[in-house]
A and B are shown apart, each in its own frame.
Chain A
Amino acid sequence: MATTAPPAAVASLLLRAQPRDRGRQFADLVATGLVIVSAVVGVLVLVAILAYVAINGLPALNFAFFTERPLPPGEVGGGVAPAIVGTLMMLATAGLIGVPIGIGTAIYLAEYGRGGFARTVSFIVDLIAGLPSIVIGVFVWAWLVRSVVGHFNGLAGGVALAIVVIPIVTRTVEETLRLVPDPLREASLALGTPRWKTIMRIVLPTARAGIMTGVVLSLARAGGETAPLLLTALGNQFFSLDLLQPMAALPVQIYNYARAPYPDWQVKAWGGALILIVLIAALSGLSRWILTRRFGRT
């Protein structure tokens, strides 16, 4: 059996690098370098995208841009007002439809569901979350555009966005509800409060911040969706508040502006993109603010 090395060998081992060690140290250095470079690349790409949107989009922003409708091709001027209105209307529709369903499902999963059905629902929520949004567009087209209404309409757009909203709301609200400690429920039930009142009066309010965050984030996500709207709301050059008619939306308007060969329209596409980014940033910032404000208090 080999004996341990004499002291002098140990001392030299500690103080001087062996040849093989140099290779290992070098590999360690290279690995560290590569990892740092990757992180830098990731952040730089983000900055590049946001910077270009800001720089190219700012020139387009003027009062007319926010208040007027798009003009026919070739004419200079006009704006994206119908698109902004349309986006807001369809987001509101999506919220009205999707948020109650999402919260209801979340309550079911967190408070009631115990068996196979609950597990299936949970699994399907994740499935729908991962569906390409164009597929959702085809579905809503087949259901609402072709059969029920007969032509492209804003309601179908809202429904398509609702399908995007539901899985996000369900997931975040479910997680938040699970975080509410059981002793809170137990105390309420022990006092004789019915189950449903316990949930509505105690559990949901406690989870208020997380619920609002989930809702806001889902709307931020839905607001940027284009593909499903191409097949449902289609887009509209004119002001319209009629959900049963084609409706404009900001992402769709950006798409239409971007594809045109007119430089003026291309600048407007960037302008629309800037507004969209700001909208999404505002919503995300709002959700963060809700969270910190609540935590700050409790």
Chain B
Amino acid sequence: MLTTADEGLDDRSLIHGRGGGDTGDRIFHALVLIAAAIIPLTLAGIVVLLLLDALPALSRYGFGFLASSTWDPVTEKFGAAAYVFGTVVTSLIALILATPIGVACALFIAEYAPRRLGEPVGFLIALLAAIPSIIYGLWGFFILAPAMRSAVEPFLKNTLGNVPVIGALFSGPAVGRDLLVAGVILAIMILPTITTVSREILRAVPNTQREGMLALGATRCETIQKAVLPYARSGIAGAAILGLARALGETMAVTMVIGNSSTQIRASLFTPGYTLASAIANQFTEADKAIYFSAIVELALVLLLVAGAMNVVARLLVWSVARGPVGSATRAG
């Protein structure tokens, strides 16, 4: 029944690890092995299929694909620079807005609030992650964008728009469908990710660190600033990068508020634009030529690689503080 002859050097391997000679065991083992093997197969499939389909565009445009901002299906000139630009800008805006607020929320839940208040607040903020992207798009399109156009953007234009260098960010007509609004919607969407992960990170900071600083006569703010946050530094960076990875891949919410019209790279945040994801979603069903398709798939490939790399980096950072892999904390629900 149980063969102890082969694998396993410790007791646990009798219960876990390869073992079992019974026919039923062999079949069962094979079944779960097949299930598990589907995972890397799927990833391989995704990468291979994307590569194959992007190959025509890859070979034809080379690295110029990322450098040129001309995207013209008619003349078959495809350059994704504007999409990359849009992705980077909106994600950065989201990161800049969501990280301080997210970490502050995590501090509220983990350091300031009593448990009976902190737990419900944490739950509510995590709920933001359960709201589907399309509903964010709807809300952004009908509620946020008009508010931005009529109140926020004119305000920014009249105040910061006059400051020497930064002013360029807030110039031009405020239409309400632009990079800025997309960035704000993305910020709301990644807030729960940053908050939930940061909260776990803060919890992993040993209490002895806080006590050590308090015992020296520090206020709570100083304790957090000088003992807790430095310790949690790399984990919080990981939380931010996880948020960033999520922002990069968001499609529907961004598509509905970003304008999807211009492929010009301009300095102002009030210009409409595209992100890689929104470009794919918008143009996929319109593509009629093979090379057009290929270019769009290449966009997907770029997105895949960047999002994948970010996820890896982020998890390594978070893991180093929490000393354990972060699994479902970053997912909705």
Chain A interface residues (CB < 8 Å from chain B): 24-25, 27-28, 30-32, 34-39, 41-43, 45-46, 48-49, 52-53, 56, 100-105, 107-114, 117-118, 120-122, 124-136, 138-139, 141-143, 163, 166-168, 170-172, 174-175, 182, 185-186, 189, 192, 194-197, 199-200, 217-218, 220-221, 223-227, 230-231, 234, 251, 254-255, 258-259, 266, 269-270, 273, 276-277, 280, 284, 287
A31–B221 touching, CB < 8 Å: yes
Does B61 make an interface contact (CB < 8 A)? no
Which B residues are CB-close (under 8 A) to A251?
132, 134, 252
- Cβ-defined contact, A186 with B15, below 8 A: yes
B155 proximal to A (CB < 8 A): no
Pick from B46-54, B69-77, B171-179, B201-209 the stretch touching chain A.
B46-54
B14 at the interface (CB under 8 A from A): yes
How many Å lie between the Cα of A138 and that of B34 in the bound state?
Answer: 25
Nearest Cβ on chain A to B225's Cβ, whole angstroms: 8
Q: Which residues of A contact B127 (CB under 8 A)?
A: 46
Docked CA distance A27–B42 (Å): 52
B43 x A124 contact (CB < 8 A): yes
B260 to chain A, nearest CB (A): 11
Contact B139 A135 (CB under 8 A): no
Q: Give Cα distance in the complex from A30 to B222, angstroms.
A: 12
B300 partner residues in chain A, CB cutoff 8 A:
134-135, 138
- Which residues of chain B from 174 to 226 have any CB-CB distance to chain A below 8 Å in the complex? 188, 191, 195, 219-222, 224-225
Known A35-B112, A107-B32; judge A255-B250 contact (CB<8 A).
no
**B133–A197 touching, CB < 8 Å:** no
B251 with A134: CB separation less than 8 A: yes
Shortest distance between the CB of A138 and any CB in chain B (Å):
4
The range of chain B's interface size is 35 or more
Q: Report yes or no: A280 in contact with B130, Cβ–Cβ below 8 A.
A: yes
| A287→B130 CA distance, assembly (Å) | 13
A132 and B307 form a contact (CB under 8 A): yes
- Further 18 A-B residue pairs, CB within 8 A, beyond A135-B304, A221-B332: A31-B224, A32-B112, A35-B112, A39-B108, A48-B143, A100-B35, A112-B17, A112-B32, A114-B18, A131-B307, A134-B249, A143-B45, A172-B328, A194-B25, A196-B29, A220-B333, A224-B133, A270-B142
Alpha-carbon distance between A41 and B108 when the two chains are bound, in angstroms: 12
Interchain CB contact (< 8 A) of B15 among A124, A174, A185, A280: A185
Among A125, A132, A139, the residue within 8 A (CB) of B45 is A139
B107 touches A125 (CB 8 A): no
Main secondary structure of the interface of B (DSSP, over half): helix
- Inter-subunit contact B327/A175 (CB<8 Å): yes
**CA distance in complex: A30, B224 (Å):** 13
Which of B12, B34, B43 has the most chain A CB atoms inside 10 A of its CB? B43
Contact present for B138 and A105 (CB under 8 Å): no
- In the bound complex, residues from chain B placing their C-beta under 8 Å from that of A270 are 138, 142
Which of B28, B38, B280 touches A195 (beta carbons < 8 Å)? B28
Q: How far is the CB of B262 from chain A (nearest CB, A)?
A: 18
Contact A135 B249 (CB under 8 A): yes
Closest-CB distance, A217 to chain B (whole angstroms): 4
User: Which of B78-86, B232-240, B266-274, B308-316 is the interface stretch?
Assistant: B308-316
Q: Name which of B27, B46, B220 has the most chain A CB atoms within 10 A of its CB.
A: B46
Cα distance A132–B143 in the bound complex, in angstroms: 25
Whether, in the assembled complex, B228 has its beta carbon less than 8 Å from a beta carbon of chain A, the answer is no
Cross-chain contact A234 with B285 (CB below 8 angstroms): yes
By the criterion CB–CB under 8 Å, are B15 and A189 in contact? yes
Contact call A28/B219, Cβ cutoff below 8 A: yes
Bound Cα distance A101, B39 (Å) = 9
The CA-CA distance from A37 to B100 in the complex, in Å, is 12
Asked if A284 and B333 sit within 8 Å, CB to CB, the answer is: yes
User: Cα distance A230–B325 when bound, in Å?
Assistant: 33
